[in-house]
Amino acid sequence: MKTKIILLGPPGSGKGTQGDKLSEELGFAKLSTGDMLREAVRDGTLLGLKAKEYMDKGALVPNDLIITLMKEKITSLGAGMGIILDGFPRTVEQANALGEQVDIDLVLNLDVEDKELVNRLTKRRTCPKCNAVFHLEYNPPKKTGFCDKCGSALVLRNDDREETVLRRLKVYRENTLPLIKYYEKKGLLVTVQGVGSIDDIFENLKKAIL
């Protein structure tokens, strides 16, 4: 079984949704840089204050901040732990730094078209407390406006407004898309169709892992 896994894919492709399901089923740690940064913003830490201006614009947070953050998190887990990385790496510089620390054995690339991504993100609702994600049509919460898991009021993320979503897609194409070739050359990439039911996609991802 593969135990050091990257979830790659554009904003809204389902990395968080599938990462949570995989982490629960396999007992792996899920490390989401987006969740960590949003937590830092909420807590008002120095990292959060620095990251917020980039995140609100839909830009990437500088590599040095992200690489330092992830080095510490991965070290704290210990070598034997299964890991699912969601949202990291996002640049070749981040991928090189990760490669020095961990032997990645699988990169799962979720493939979804731009039009669908915009629809998913502008209608996504997120729990600011436990980071659970929902969609107004595709994956609605049981009680409108409230998180199924912890009961908190759901919010529209600042960067899920249409203008910022379009900017994030551009940033993805310029900075993160090259990682597809990067990991293809290493023989680690498996592309999975990211459109269809959440459960079907989950089954396809598991087949690549087990």
Contacting residue, 26, 31, 60, 97, with ligand AP5 by CB under 6 A: 60
- The reply to whether 201 sits near ligand AP5 by the rule CB under 6 A is yes
Q: What mask, x for binding ligand AP5 by CB under 6 A, covers residues 160 to 199?
A: --------x---------------------------x-x-
Contacting residue, 4, 6, 14, 109, with ligand AP5 by CB under 6 A: 14
Those residues with Cβ within 8 angstroms of residue 32's Cβ, 6 or more apart along the chain or in another chain: 15, 16, 19, 86, 87, 131
Kindly list the distances between the CA atom of residue 181 and the CA atoms of 4, 103, 168, 171, 184, in Å, as whole numbers in the listed order: 19, 18, 20, 17, 5
Please state the closest distance from residue 165 (CB atom) to ligand AP5, in A.
8
Number of shown-chain residues binding ligand AP5 (CB under 6 A)? 35
Three-state DSSP class for 112? coil
Q: How many residues does the chain have?
A: 210
User: Are the C-beta atoms of residues 154 and 146 closer than 8 Å to each other?
Assistant: yes
C-beta closer to ligand AP5: residue 66 or 189: 66
Q: What mask, x for binding ligand AP5 by CB under 6 A, covers residues 86 to 115?
A: -xx-x---x---------------------
Residue whose beta carbon is closest to ligand AP5 = 34
- The reply to whether 16 sits near ligand AP5 by the rule CB under 6 A is yes
CB neighbours (10 Å) of residue 121?
A: 24
- 137-156 residues in contact with ligand AP5 (CB under 6 A) are 138-139
Dump the DSSP string for 119-159: HHHHTEEE-TTT--EEETTTB--SSTTB-TTT-PBPB--GG
User: Is residue 15 among the annotated active site residues?
Assistant: yes
- The reply to whether 33 sits near ligand AP5 by the rule CB under 6 A is yes
- The reply to whether 209 sits near ligand AP5 by the rule CB under 6 A is no
CA dist., res. 95 & res. 87, Å (int) = 11
Contacting residue, 26, 31, 61, 108, with ligand AP5 by CB under 6 A: 61
Question: Is the bond preceding 128 in cis, omega lying within 30 degrees of 0?
Answer: no
- Active centre residues (catalytic): 15, 90, 124, 157, 168
